[in-house]
Structure 1
Amino acid sequence: MLFSMFLNIILGIIGGIISSLIVSRVFLIQAEYLNQLKSVEHILKHMEYIRGMLFGIRKVLETDYDEDSRKRKETAERGYKSECEYYTNHKECRWIDAEALLRKMIKDTQDRASIMYEDIVKIHINDSSLVNLLQQMSAYTRKVNSLKDCNFALVDDLDRISNGIVEEYSTYKQLSTKQLVMSVLKDKVMIILYVSLVIIILGAVLAYFLGI
């Protein structure tokens, strides 16, 4: 009788300890998971900046293209013999150097892409879906940093890649609760705790039926 009482007390204490460890581990996994999401979203902010710069580059390209079209048309119509003669009659059109502006915008974009890549390298992610997203973002930064000149096709391609990354992350975020549950279920420490708790429960049931 005394042995049975002590056994039940011991089983209760061990079961309580394991239960508290399970709860603590769940909170730890949740905190780590949320930190991973926060880290990825920090990287995405860099990409949003780059997307904004690429939008600006597109507008400069469009403006420059329109200006070139007008210049060719008017040069043909009015018989200007040189570009210098055209600008002599349109001093207001040369208030900014489009090529110099594009070079600066590309440099600023690539500087941010380099910072984005450095941040990708620094963070620790163990979720396979997020790792895949980071790999895509890393490839995106390399593509941005490989730009020499910019044209509509390159801007469109980079937009397509970034849009795909954003959409994939949005889909992942919608399933974040499911992903968190899967992380908890697959965690090795949690598996050990589950097994230990099951053994404790089975031991208590067995002791009850054996009358120990």
Structure 2
Amino acid sequence: MPVTPQWRAAHDILGKDIAKAARRDGLTITSVSGLVNTNRRYPSVIPVLIDWLKHAEHRVPLTDPFDLDRFRSSIYRALTTIDAMGTEAVPLLMSEFYREPQQSPGTLDAAANALRYLAVPSDFDRIAALASDRSLGSGRAALLEWLITQGTPEGLQIVVEQIDDETVRALGIKFIRQYKPLPAGLRPVIEHYLDDPDSEVRKQATRTLRKILD
């Protein structure tokens, strides 16, 4: 997509706030992409990103929902960092799934990936509710992975229940392999997808079956 003057202006406005906060962390970063690509921590920038996520549409000259989606997505990615853990970023990211109009699957995926990194066990119920909401389509897939990594039977069961939704089927079956040990009772559930029309689903089902204990 070509960069428009409005897009450049939006990032310039955000970049000025990022640069000011980043200086407090001894950094010379002046853009959200700079945050995403650095291996340095930037705790002073987190409150700035949170505030921008709340008010972005009122601060930038972007009116196209697609452009606003992409703009927010960049902030989600910048919040995928250790210093955003335990902050307002977590409940705020959860609320982002229900913006109107609904954001694109790619934008929701960026929010889900941020939550996959930031969420803690006490967030289980809220993550489970999002992961089970089929209206969110493929954008919730990373939340299914988070549930699996918690290592609880409840999380595994939620993911198993979701794989009949084709929007998350291949990834859901893939994520299930991370659960240890995989119960033998899952074998018939996964075998059902060996003949799925989607070749990626068939591949993931085959690989997951190899991990299931007899």
TM-score (norm 2): 0.23
- The structure that has the greater radius of gyration is 1
TM-score (norm 1): 0.23
User: Relative contact order (C-alpha < 8 Å, sep 6+): which is higher?
Assistant: 1
